[in-house]
Amino acid sequence: MRLKVSQYLVALLMVSALMLGGCSTEQVTSSNSSPTSAAVETSTATTTAEATSVSQTTSESIPGMKDLPRLEGKATVVMTVKGSPITIEVDGTNAPITAGNFVDLVQKGVYDGLVFHRVVREPQPFVVQGGDPQSKDPKVPANRLGTGGYIDPKTGNERRIPLEIKPQGEPNPIYGKTLESAGVTKPPELQHKMGAVAMARSQMPDSASSQFYFALADLAFLDGSYAVFGKVTDGFDVVNKIQQGDRIDSAKVTQGAENLKTPGS
């Protein structure tokens, strides 16, 4: 399913589910319209301007980039929920930093025992979201879930990764900008098709950490604004049965672990 222009207001309400920090619907509707507006407005950027924009925004000069793990190639992660497996193909070819972050956290056992704190199926199928490390503690109030990220024990700080989106036909991803804000009209290589796996973030582009979501439908209005890094290749029926409050039993890298490159390795 793909959103039509007539569903614009529904899209605004649904996108709030991806925001970190427990934002209210009213807050997101008034201040975060840009990710959805790209789906219903026609860009007037020229081919020349687009090419210039791409060349200017693929620099990996973002502070801390060199300290982030990378996935050079692909990997397979099997996530088990309520005893049933979900197989995820993680794409480090098109999203090396985002994919590397996810695989690294899987390797560290960060996702084991975490809760899916947000499940949105009404008014139409949207996302299943989890990955807040705070949710491992059952004493943490439900209204705090969705506000946390992975705290690196080496630094004591939350690891954040830049927004990373690779336009079709380009050799490198764009970092730190949505495709719309970068003036790029090409679609991304990795799109929000049903079963896509992507990173949740706040309104700041470079605020993703550990929270991720499964797309329950084709969500083209999110393309170019949120970083897709993989897809469910088996077990989507399991994803469709996840309820808010369900926990991840475990997540394991079953193939491609050798493609993960961490700083100093």
Confidence band for 25, pLDDT divided at 50, 70 and 90: very low
**pLDDT above 70 (res 38):** no
Query: What pTM does this model have?
Result: 0.82
Mean pLDDT of 214-231: 98
**pLDDT above 60 (res 139):** yes
Please give the full DSSP string across 33-74, using - where no structure is assigned: -HHHHTTTS-----HHHHHHHHHHH----STTGGGS-EE-SE
pLDDT number for residue 60? 55
pLDDT number for residue 140? 94
Confidence band for 41, pLDDT divided at 50, 70 and 90: very low
Q: Which residues of 183-205 are buried (b: 16+ CB within 10 A; e: fewer)?
A: bbbbebbbbbebbbbbbbbbeeb
pLDDT number for residue 16? 55
Confidence band for 65, pLDDT divided at 50, 70 and 90: confident
pLDDT number for residue 164? 97
pLDDT tens-digit series, residues 162-181: 999 999 999 999 999 999 99
pLDDT tens-digit series, residues 91-135: 999 999 999 999 999 999 999 999 999 999 999 999 999 999 999
List domains and CATH numbers for the chain.
5-41+70-261 (2.40.100.10)
**pLDDT above 60 (res 8):** no
Task: Provide the mean pLDDT of the chain.
Answer: 83
> Which two tokens mark 128?
């299943």
Q: How far is CA 219 from CA 80, 99, 138, 158, in A?
A: 24, 20, 32, 29
Which of the residue ranges 7-11, 13-17, 20-24 has the most confident prediction, judged by mean pLDDT?
Answer: 13-17
